[in-house]
Structure 1
Amino acid sequence: MPKSKIFLIFCIAFIVGVFFGRFINYQIMAILAMIFIIAGTIAFRNQRVLILAIAGIIALLGSLRFATDYRQNDLEQFYDQELVLQGVIVEEPDVRSDKTFLTVGKLIINNQQLESKILLRVSRFPEYEYGQMINFEGKILEPKEFEDFSYKNYLSRYGIDAVVYNPKIFEIEEGFGNPVRALLIQIKKKFTHRLEILLPEPQNSFLAGILVGMRKTIPQDLLDSLSITGTTHVIAISGFNITIIASAINWFLIFFFNRRISFILALVTIVLFVIMVGASASAVRAGIMGILGMLALNIGRRKNINNALALTAAVMVAINPQILHFDLGFLLSFAALMGLVFIGPILTQYFCRVPKFINFYLVPSTAAYIATLPIILIYFSRLSAVAIPVNVLILYFIPLAMLFGFLAAFLPYPFIWLAWGVLTYVLTVVEWASKIPWASFSFSTNWYVGAVYYILLIGLIWLWNQKQNNSQPL
């Protein structure tokens, strides 16, 4: 068996192990570990059995990684207690219209340093900044569990294990965050404030969403329209969205530079985008996946990118194993990227008669839709019937809106007029499509059906690849 294939098996085994780590306990892990060790020892000379045994052990390491991370909660012992704490605001404050959420880490309680983070809900004013060290008093509460939503798991993926509502903050000191990240956040704030002055609503909030991933100020009716038309991804910082935008930039630059230089400039654009949105952990993950998506679309032989994709996913999951269960953005982004890599080439052949300028977005939109369909139905219980045509109609213009909007912050005229025109077109298409009676309808399913769907999809992809390999001349 080739070493590259063995490496791919080990990476997938670790990811599968992390997934099952939520459902098995330490005793089962110990029993399985003994079985794999015995099997590997007995069949040491049988390469296939030995590889499977090692893959099993690697999977158990993944399960152990999830279990130890998920069960670590330093704040559990302090639930329902009124305490005085000290900590540092470790993320950019999440500012809403009437309140602000602060993620506080580096906590100290009774001279004890804790690993867990805590989420504070405070009033809109006064304003707080990333990197401030605060002393506060409040009641530490366990995040609530709802019938169809686990707020505890939602926060746990960020390392947050408790919440405090309306704490009393009585001491603030500056300069305890990463200075580079603090500078990036300040640049982002000044940039978005500049756009607020130049553009009216809803164009301004929509541009902030597609440029820096800010969706808190987007009107609810526009968010509903984006959801109905299956275009919410354009305001999300995801690997798929970054890949699509970078591909469009790459296609545009080819008219001015050779293919290699335009490709490199497109990759540089991804890095600059991640920096511009503040270089948060989710943005960095999306940027890495976007770069891999670009490589997948530009490398002629798909197998050259398979191991890179598997390794990247394994490393991301190893760093934060909870994203595999509780980060819907990661699941959608990675599934869409897999669709680009494995389903895209199939659709390209079937859509060969479609004009290239339409295919440029038709193929990736359709591939991503097929790959993410079960996840969308499981989590949102809604199916958009207009997602593919609407994406084809607007995705050409999203990179233009980003380009004109970015330039308008430094040279308002004529770029602010161009940005307004492009944004108005996109919003008009989305709003018009969302009013079609059959644009979206309820349709729910579960992970059992989803598993069958993905097994059948993988089988069809495998059969197509076998057919392609058999048809190649010797």
Structure 2
Amino acid sequence: MKLLWLYSLYLAGIIAGSNFEISWLVLPASLLPLPLVCFKRARKVALWGSLSLLLLIAGLASSSPHAIGAGLEVLAWYNNSGIVTINATIDRDIEIRDSSQHLHLDCSQVSSQGVNRSTTGHLLVYTSRYPEYKYGDELLITGKLEKPPVFKNEITGEVEFDYASYLANQGILSIMVYPEIQVISANNSNFFLSGLYDIKQKLAFSIERALPEPSSSLVCGILLGQRYKIHQDIQDDFSRTGAFHLLAISGLHLGIIATMTLSLGRAVLGRQGYIYIFLALTAIWLYAIVSGSGAPVIRAAVMASIFLLAELAGRQKSALPALALAASIMVAIDPKIINTTSFQMSFSAMAGIMLFYSSIRSWGQKILSRLFGEKRKLPALAGLIIDSLSASLAATIFVLPLTLHYFGIFSPLGPLVTLLLMPALIPIIAISMPVAVLGLFWPTGAMALGWLCWVFSKYTLVVTEWFSGWDSSYAENITFSGFLVIVYYSGMLAAYLVAMIWKRTKKHPVANHQMETG
């Protein structure tokens, strides 16, 4: 818990430091408690106080605006300032829609009013579906830079979606809509990522050829992370039923997959040799690679791997400090990710699984044991359902305040809908992967196998559509402030600590009685 306290202080410093400037020159302030080491009784407090201040100030200084730099703001300086010409390179997988493409660009030079200047920053460009562009293409783009919009209700004026903040969390402060584009050169990219993105597009085309709509777009979203292909009304159904997390490849998603693979591996292979853990690790990283190996996916896979490695070492209690350490390292490398929704939800989901999964699973097993009888062994399918639901509930409990804060939607049916959909999620992933690969060589065979995948995807669509039609299935436009998020997590942590103390007291009643009377 001491290590967890130190990591938490560093992360708290980074969160606070992003809101105001502080210099590294303040770092010597961490030495203020050290004179207390002269007093024997205060020595320990002085050392811990100094170390705590050191990490807090380090977090504050490393994430303050001047420390991160103003490079991203340089490009934004030209927002709404007329026509500019930008030299930039496509640095991410291209989002291909029905009639348009979304290009994510890393900018190197900007020309305004005849003056050329070097710049750094990221730009999102909306352009027509054709001609097609590829990751690594160097482009010369001429158009008007604009600040991303904030969408408000026309009647009430309330903010419905802060698109500007959403993109800012990805380091994007400027957009261009249908500019003039000229390709300067191609293949200026990372060879591995370029090949990966190319394979991903081919797999997506293979799925689209093997499955009818809207099942094909749903499967592309779940398997390949191409959520933008899923029709908006379907995404709304998932949101209203509290099951949207099943479409997002995050710590929650990978955590559920990890626990389900663990449970399935234990049931089929047993615990001998820990093969079931290596199977789960393989499933997570294979899934992360196939889905595109984006930074949020890799971060989620690392967090899920920590959970599995703690299981392998038999030190589940050490998983949370290890998770905090991994998060601290990621944030130290790139302080801006602390403000991204994907990072926060991945960390919260995995923390929830690490803290509450075992307890919820134990309660579920006790309930089923009473139903089936204490002496009867639980069916393997029942155990799999308990494990998947326990992971889903544990993750959902911890992700809930962030969902309310960022999306303003709450569904009391979320756990039930998740329970109904989880049995279909693994078959969709397990079947769609060979369908996608088979479609590259034998489209007819992929279509034949695809019908089995269609059954599970159709079931998923029917369930979400049916529950989203309930009048009381969800509440939207909920205001859940950042302060309430902090209060929620503080309450959950306090509840966990109380439960741990109560469990220790229950295990060692004699020792505790002697301490009280002695």
Q: TM-score, normalised by structure 2?
A: 0.83
Tell me the amino acid that sits aligned with residue 249 of structure 2: I
Distance in 2, matches of 1:44 and 1:96, equals 68
1:170 aligns with 2:182: yes
Secondary structure at the residue paired with 2:475? strand
Distance in 1, matches of 2:164 and 2:353, equals 33
Distance in 1, matches of 2:117 and 2:321, equals 43
1:434 aligns with 2:468: yes
Tell me the amino acid that sits aligned with residue 427 of structure 2: L
1:99 aligns with 2:126: no
Distance in 1, matches of 2:214 and 2:151, equals 32
Bigger Rg, structure 1 or 2: 2
Secondary structure at the residue paired with 2:227? coil
Indicate which of 120, 129, 133 corresponds to 1:124. 129
User: What's the offset of the Cα at 1:47?
Assistant: 2.2
1:40 aligns with 2:34: yes
The aligned runs of 1:78-89 (5 Å cut-off) are 78-79=78-79, 80-89=81-90
- Residues 44 and 50 in structure 1, CA contact (< 8 A), matched pair in contact too: no
Distance in 2, matches of 1:173 and 1:103, equals 16
- Residues 390 and 429 in structure 1, CA contact (< 8 A), matched pair in contact too: yes
Distance in 2, matches of 1:233 and 1:416, equals 24
Q: Which residue of 2 aligns with 1:203?
A: 215
Q: Kindly tell me: are residues 224 and 154 of structure 1, through their superposed partners in 2, closer, same or farther at Cα, counting changes over 3 Å?
A: closer
Secondary structure at the residue paired with 2:109? strand
1:26 aligns with 2:22: yes
Secondary structure at the residue paired with 2:228? coil
Q: Which residue of 1 aligns with 2:235?
A: 223
1:75 aligns with 2:80: no
Indicate which of 447, 457, 460 corresponds to 2:492. 457
Q: Kindly tell me: are residues 114 and 71 of structure 1, through their superposed partners in 2, closer, same or farther at Cα, counting changes over 3 Å?
A: closer
Secondary structure at the residue paired with 1:396? helix
User: What's the offset of the Cα at 1:258?
Assistant: 4.5
User: What's the offset of the Cα at 1:15?
Assistant: 0.5
Distance in 2, matches of 1:257 and 1:270, equals 18
- Residues 122 and 171 in structure 2, CA contact (< 8 A), matched pair in contact too: yes
The aligned runs of 1:351-366 (5 Å cut-off) are 351-355=364-368, 356-366=383-393
User: What's the offset of the Cα at 1:438?
Assistant: 1.8
Distance in 1, matches of 2:221 and 2:178, equals 28
- Residues 344 and 364 in structure 1, CA contact (< 8 A), matched pair in contact too: yes
Distance in 2, matches of 1:298 and 1:231, equals 30
The aligned runs of 1:277-292 (5 Å cut-off) are 277-292=291-306
The aligned runs of 1:6-25 (5 Å cut-off) are 6-25=2-21
Distance in 1, matches of 2:35 and 2:262, equals 51
Q: Kindly tell me: are residues 6 and 251 of structure 1, through their superposed partners in 2, closer, same or farther at Cα, counting changes over 3 Å?
A: closer
- Residues 361 and 391 in structure 1, CA contact (< 8 A), matched pair in contact too: no
Q: CA RMSD in A?
A: 2.4
Q: Deviations over 1:332-370 (max 9, x none)?
A: 222121111112233234334233344222322222222
Distance in 2, matches of 1:324 and 1:429, equals 35
Q: Kindly tell me: are residues 49 and 145 of structure 1, through their superposed partners in 2, closer, same or farther at Cα, counting changes over 3 Å?
A: farther
The aligned runs of 1:254-273 (5 Å cut-off) are 254-259=266-271, 260-273=274-287
Indicate which of 54, 59, 62 corresponds to 2:59. 62
Q: Kindly tell me: are residues 298 and 176 of structure 1, through their superposed partners in 2, closer, same or farther at Cα, counting changes over 3 Å?
A: same
Q: Which residue of 2 aligns with 1:422?
A: 456
Distance in 2, matches of 1:328 and 1:179, equals 29
Distance in 2, matches of 1:389 and 1:278, equals 30
Secondary structure at the residue paired with 2:269? coil
Unaligned 5+ segments in structure 2 are 153-158, 369-382, 439-444, 512-518
Tell me the amino acid that sits aligned with residue 401 of structure 2: P
Distance in 1, matches of 2:151 and 2:334, equals 24
- Residues 147 and 173 in structure 2, CA contact (< 8 A), matched pair in contact too: yes
Indicate which of 464, 471, 482 corresponds to 1:447. 482
Secondary structure at the residue paired with 1:16? helix
User: What's the offset of the Cα at 1:395?
Assistant: 0.6
- The number of residues matched between the two structures is 467
Q: TM-score, normalised by structure 1?
A: 0.91
User: What's the offset of the Cα at 1:465?
Assistant: 0.3
Indicate which of 248, 252, 257 corresponds to 2:260. 248
Q: Which residue of 2 aligns with 1:212?
A: 224
Tell me the amino acid that sits aligned with residue 118 of structure 1: L
User: What's the offset of the Cα at 1:77?
Assistant: 4.1
Tell me the amino acid that sits aligned with residue 21 of structure 2: N
Q: Kindly tell me: are residues 89 and 268 of structure 1, through their superposed partners in 2, closer, same or farther at Cα, counting changes over 3 Å?
A: same
Q: Kindly tell me: are residues 280 and 358 of structure 1, through their superposed partners in 2, closer, same or farther at Cα, counting changes over 3 Å?
A: closer
1:319 aligns with 2:324: no
1:376 aligns with 2:403: yes
User: What's the offset of the Cα at 1:71?
Assistant: 4.2
User: What's the offset of the Cα at 1:115?
Assistant: 2.9
User: What's the offset of the Cα at 1:387?
Assistant: 0.7
Distance in 2, matches of 1:234 and 1:322, equals 25
Q: Which residue of 2 aligns with 1:329?
A: 342
Q: Kindly tell me: are residues 7 and 385 of structure 1, through their superposed partners in 2, closer, same or farther at Cα, counting changes over 3 Å?
A: closer
